[in-house]
Structure 1
Amino acid sequence: MSRFRFLFIIADSWGPLGCTIPVARELASRGHEVKFAVFDFHGFINRSNDIIPALDAAQILRDEGLDVLEVSAPPLKLPGKVPTPKNFLLEYRAFQSLFRDYLIPYYEHWLKYAIPVFQKYDPSAVWVKDQVLAGAMASEKLGVPWATFSVHTGFVESDDSLPWTMGLSPPESGLERMRNKAMKWGMRKFRMSLDDVINEARVRAGLPAIEDALFATPVSPHLYLLFVAPEFEPPRASWPAHVRFVGPYCWDKPRDYAPPRSLERIPSDRPLVYATIGTLSNRMEIDFYTTIMEALGDQPYTVVVSVGAYKDDYVASRLPKPPDNFIVESFLPNSMMIPRADVLVHHGGAGTTMMGLARGVPAVAVPLNHEHLDFAQRLVERNCGIRIDKKKLSAENLRAAVGRIFKEPSYKQAAQKAKSELARYDAVRSCANELLGLAAGQYMAERRSIQATPAHLEVR
């Protein structure tokens, strides 16, 4: 059997770690080599805007006994505070600036120092997080088989796909189909406005210009692994041949993590509500925590809240004293708390949503941004939870929604059905098998480039 060398290029947040750490261990157990490279996507933004948490993902990987390739790129001077838009249609100019003035220059800067490091390692195949455009460009430059992974299907468009991040249900009328078509056209026009900026960077890196560069650059034409399940996606006539659904990811508990002693106080004779809004939205949404305290502070439940800040007290230090029935901790692994919960309250994040379904726990979802709206709507469609849009979030509405889930058994029954459907997935084994096939040359395709590089994109 051939021994392959894999390079995993990830962003500095919990989701990419949760997707890749178990797969790296599985490949190593089969005799293959895996090294990581961390693109400090959030750390880069954090340097000028500390509302975005910075996670030392490289150190976590080392603590887990995994190898990290160091890309020693010197600091890149920033022209000001990096914008952090939450809705790309409503904050069009902020998104334009984010990519044009900050991310694209940083992608190019990082690439210059990363490529020699990767070439020296000489991987058999590369696996890249979809948000790391620089990692995708590096994979193309290396000329080896590469795969993308994602926790949502937003980059997989088709004629019958829904507009991404809008939180819509499948259309039931011709008018709704027309609305969806118009919304997707608008999104496409927005992406096209960035095509030249991204293609100019691609050409400078020695890569061809491509159509729909913002969406197409991060998606491998060879293999696309999705940590979701088609049973919980809006129906489509078909999916591209290179797409593989692998189900929920499962890792979020570092080796050195010790559960706080406060969890020993959870009574066994009271219902348990577990609340979290993940590890990226926490600093921007501190009001969420005060709202849940107001909503459930006098209710007959034990409420455990994770503010999602690993080795960081930024959020906890800004919260008021919690009610007597609350336990508030800076960081709690979902994998430890969700199985114990009777009801989840969360933001509709991919990992939390899918883990809640996999454990059969009904939820109240308060979507905050991006794909959260879509995941929250999928919960509603399957009767696995209740969605409260952020503008309608109040203590009264949240209290009523949690109470309704406890009172109406249909939510628990639907969540248990979802659990049985997801039981057939084994994301770790599936990813390892697919990546081995990739390294062995089973999945190869050529990216379709623009026929001729436009003159204004030529390297001068």
Structure 2
Amino acid sequence: MSTAVICSMPAEGHVRPLLVVAAELQARGWRVRMLTGARYASMVRAAGVDFVPLPPEADTLDELGAGDRKRGRDAINSGVEQAFFAPAPLAGQALLALLAEEPTDVVLHEPTFVGVQALHRLAPAERPFVAMCGIIPLGLSSRDTPPYGLGITPLRRTVPNRVRNAVLTAVATRLVLRPVHRAADRMLADMGAPGLRGRFFMDVLRSADLHAQFTVPAFEFPRSDAPESLRYYGPMTRVERSGLEAPPWFAELGKHRPVVHVTQGTVANTDFTELVRPTVEALADLDVDVVVTTGGRPVAALTDDLAGLAPRPERLHVGEFLPYDKLLPLTDVLVTNGGYGGLHHALQHGVPIVVAGDSEDKVETSARVAWSGAGIRLGTSTPTVAQVRAAVQRILGDPSYARASRAIGDAIATSPGPVGFVDDVEEQVRRRQAAGVA
């Protein structure tokens, strides 16, 4: 029996797509163990996967996420260190202990599980095959892309683009993002892993044997110097029949006027005055249906954050969760704070996007929305009413945004998905075994 260990930092948007991969592996007879935070034990076990808890000292991401979110440059310099580098040495020790318990063919990890670097102090023949599962925008440096974390899009002309990118990368590495580079080298030294040696901090991910990006090329900056190990598989989680019952008001959606859906997701949804309230206010006098999801928070919390708001849209509909398989095909514009998974759900259905994120990796997801032509980025998580209104009206009046989103959706529909990804993993494992590496 082939065996795999899947490693994820404790966050739903990280764990859930990897469980899709786990399901495909198990369907082929693999034994799968998953190393992640205690909060996700029931989710992992419900998928039939053996759950292994991170050490408590490394199971800190949920706690950090509940506090004030880092924004802008600080989201990279101190946010990455606190959230991902600080727990990495202990997470790496836990991974090594798992591998010592029984032979393992493959280690799969998402990019923020930096503890996997503990494996790379070993020679390739002494460790399993390692696949990086890209559930956030691709961060590998390239002559064709600006450095990750600044939210800057590539230029269209090759020579000016490469000159600018070289300058930006040098400035980011040595000045703007110097703290996170120093933190990365300290972390790698603690694990006995090779240091950055002047490389950009996201290039620590280059040590993987397979770089599996869970998107399609149309939604990622092109890299002419990408490693041969980079492959695109499309998103692992896709909108399918949810089992949720549609409320009665769904029957009228999309028949007489455009539908605008606004959500702050399931993580950054503690303060609806950041995005939901200005969106509701912005659309109050437009002839649209406004659909709000609270991401699991009580609807009463939204009612409190909308207190005193007048006028309100005549057709305002609210739910904690709604069946996306029924809602997204009826949606003309999504207004969101830009989680990678949520954006791909919209793109799968060709829905153009107004994106308002500026924390964590959301500056980079927002940059890809703008670059791909699938929507408009607002550059802040707390936009004004006027900003939201102008962006929604622009998308409703310009069909090019919907066309770009539909093109990405078509690419998603034909992407390899988890079947293609596991096909490639199995092929790589067979090659290693034939070569006597494993």
TM-score for the superposition, normalised by structure 2 = 0.80
User: What is the alpha-carbon distance in structure 1 between the residues aligned to residue 425 and residue 381 of structure 2?
Assistant: 42
Q: Provide Cα deviations, 1:401-450, integer angstroms capped at 9, x if missing partner.
A: 323333333333333333333332031112111222233344999xxxxx
Amino acid at match of 2:419: R
Contact 2:144 2:154 survives alignment (8 Å)? no
Q: Report what 1:64 is aligned to.
A: 47
Could you say if the C-alpha distance between residues 58 and 389 of structure 1 is closer, same or farther in structure 2, counting changes exceeding 3 Å? same
Q: Provide Cα deviations, 1:370-424, integer angstroms capped at 9, x if missing partner.
A: 5434443444444432333328932233223323333333333333333333332
Could you say if the C-alpha distance between residues 425 and 98 of structure 1 is closer, same or farther in structure 2, counting changes exceeding 3 Å? closer
Could you say if the C-alpha distance between residues 264 and 413 of structure 1 is closer, same or farther in structure 2, counting changes exceeding 3 Å? closer
Amino acid at match of 1:288: L
Q: Structure 1 residue 134 and structure 2 residue 134: aligned?
A: no
Q: Structure 1 residue 186 and structure 2 residue 186: aligned?
A: no
Q: Report what 2:217 is aligned to.
A: 230
User: What is the alpha-carbon distance in structure 2 between the residues aligned to residue 314 and residue 124 of structure 1?
Assistant: 49
* Gap regions ≥5 residues in structure 2: none
Contact 1:308 1:332 survives alignment (8 Å)? no
- Give the CA deviation at 1:127: 0.3
Q: Which of 135, 138, 143 pairs up with 1:151? A: 135
Q: Report what 1:9 is aligned to.
A: 7
Q: Report what 1:387 is aligned to.
A: 377
Contact 1:4 1:439 survives alignment (8 Å)? no
Q: Which of 335, 339, 357 pairs up with 2:347? A: 357
Q: Provide Cα deviations, 1:339-359, integer angstroms capped at 9, x if missing partner.
A: 332221123332232332221
Contact 2:108 2:131 survives alignment (8 Å)? yes
- Give the CA deviation at 1:263: 6.2
User: What is the alpha-carbon distance in structure 2 between the residues aligned to residue 102 and residue 236 of structure 1?
Assistant: 28
Contact 1:9 1:39 survives alignment (8 Å)? no
- Give the CA deviation at 1:97: 4.6
1:194-213 residue pairs with structure 2 within 5 A?
194-195=180-181, 197-211=183-197, 212=199
Q: Report what 2:208 is aligned to.
A: 221
Contact 1:251 1:335 survives alignment (8 Å)? no
SS of match in other structure, 1:146: strand
1:284-303 residue pairs with structure 2 within 5 A?
286-303=273-290
Could you say if the C-alpha distance between residues 315 and 7 of structure 1 is closer, same or farther in structure 2, counting changes exceeding 3 Å? farther
Amino acid at match of 1:59: S
Q: Report what 2:230 is aligned to.
A: 243
Aligned residues: 421
Q: Structure 1 residue 428 and structure 2 residue 426: aligned?
A: no
- Give the CA deviation at 1:277: 3.1
- Give the CA deviation at 1:131: 0.6
Q: Provide Cα deviations, 1:236-273, integer angstroms capped at 9, x if missing partner.
A: 32421011111123257898x74574765754524322
Contact 1:343 1:361 survives alignment (8 Å)? yes
Amino acid at match of 2:306: P
* Gap regions ≥5 residues in structure 1: 41-55, 446-460
Q: Report what 1:458 is aligned to.
A: none
Q: Report what 1:325 is aligned to.
A: 315
Contact 1:222 1:444 survives alignment (8 Å)? no
Amino acid at match of 1:38: T
- Give the CA deviation at 1:96: 4.7
- Give the CA deviation at 1:113: 4.3
Contact 1:155 1:219 survives alignment (8 Å)? no
User: What is the alpha-carbon distance in structure 2 between the residues aligned to residue 96 and residue 233 of structure 1?
Assistant: 23
Q: Which of 24, 27, 35 pairs up with 1:26? A: 24
Q: Which of 349, 352, 356 pairs up with 1:366? A: 356
Give the aligned CA root-mean-square deviation in angstroms.
3.8
Q: Provide Cα deviations, 1:193-219, integer angstroms capped at 9, x if missing partner.
A: 555544444344343444348424344
User: What is the alpha-carbon distance in structure 1 between the residues aligned to residue 267 and residue 370 of structure 2?
Assistant: 23
User: What is the alpha-carbon distance in structure 2 between the residues aligned to residue 199 and residue 295 of structure 1?
Assistant: 46
Contact 1:18 1:252 survives alignment (8 Å)? no
SS of match in other structure, 1:436: helix
